[in-house]
Amino acid sequence: MMMQQPSTNATAALVISLLSLVGGFLIGLPFLLAPISLLMANSALKTTSMHPGHSDHGIARAAQIISGIITGLMVVVFIIVAMFIGLLSANGF
């Protein structure tokens, strides 16, 4: 008898990470979905790691990688914008 695999949010995490990737370049605001997708992917990976051979493991890993890259880029952009605003305010603009 085959045991049923527990369900995960891996597919939802991948869809949200792809939306944040495409929407982030087009509009900018969907970048904020990347950290949410990263949390969902990490949760799905925890579940799939407990069940070797789980069918959602690759999807969860892809969502984690895409979300991690987008989240990292988002942090870098926020730091650059903050430095630019600080530079402008220090120069009296």
pLDDT digits (tens, 9 = 90+) for 4-26: 888 889 999 999 999 998 887 77
Q: How do residues 22-77 score in pLDDT, each as one tens digit?
A: 887 777 677 788 999 999 999 999 999 998 888 899 999 999 999 999 999 889 98
Phi, then psi, of 6 in degrees rounded to 5 = -70, 150
b/e code 44-78 from CB counts within 10 Å (16+ = b) = bbebbeeeeebebbebbbbbbebbbebbeebeeee
Confidence of residue 2 (pLDDT cuts 50, 70, 90): low
Query: What average pLDDT does range 82-89 have in this prediction?
Result: 93
Domain residue spans of the chain: 10-90
Task: Report which DSSP code applies to 43.
Answer: H
Coil, strand, or helix at residue 60?
Answer: helix
How many alpha carbons fall within 13 Å on the CB side of residue 61?
7
